[in-house]
Amino acid sequence: MENNLLNIFFVLDKNYIVPFTVTLTSILENNKDLEIQAFVLHELGHNDTLELACKFFKDKYNIEIASISFEDKYFNDFHIAEHITKAGYFKLLLGQMIPESVSCGLYIDCDIAVTGSLKEFCTLDFYDDAKGEETPLCAVTDVRATKEITRLNKAGANLVSYFNTGVFFANLKKWRADNAAEKMIAIGQQYDKNLVYVDQDVMNVYFKTNYKELNDKYNADAAVKHVQLPVILHYHGISKPWHFVDNSPYKHIYRKYLKMTPFKNVKQQGISLENFARKYVRWFRQKLNPVPDYTI
Per-residue confidence (pLDDT) for residue 45, from 0 to 100: 87
Per-residue confidence (pLDDT) for residue 290, from 0 to 100: 52
Segments making up each domain of the chain, as ranges: 5-218
Per-residue confidence (pLDDT) for residue 282, from 0 to 100: 54
Q: Do residues 95 and 66 make contact, with C-beta atoms less than 8 angstroms apart?
A: no
Lowest mean pLDDT among 49-58, 77-86, 162-171, 251-260: 77-86
Q: Torsion angle, CA of 178/169/79/16, rounded to 10 degrees?
A: -160
Average pLDDT estimate for 154-159 = 97
Per-residue confidence (pLDDT) for residue 246, from 0 to 100: 85
CA atoms of 9 and 109, how far apart (whole Å): 9
What average pLDDT does the chain have? Answer: 89
pLDDT band at 295 (very low <50, low <70, confident <90, very high): very low
CA atoms of 235 and 249, how far apart (whole Å): 10
Average pLDDT estimate for 107-123 = 98
pLDDT band at 268 (very low <50, low <70, confident <90, very high): confident
May I ask the CATH class of domain 5-218? alpha beta
Helix or strand holding residue 134 (H, E): strand 133-134
Is the pLDDT confidence value at 213 over 50? yes
Average pLDDT estimate for 65-80 = 73
Q: What is the pTM of this model?
A: 0.90
Q: Is the dihedral of CA 147, 90, 101, 184 positive or negative?
A: positive
Is the pLDDT confidence value at 256 over 50? yes
Per-residue confidence (pLDDT) for residue 247, from 0 to 100: 86
Per-residue confidence (pLDDT) for residue 289, from 0 to 100: 58
Is the pLDDT confidence value at 149 over 50? yes
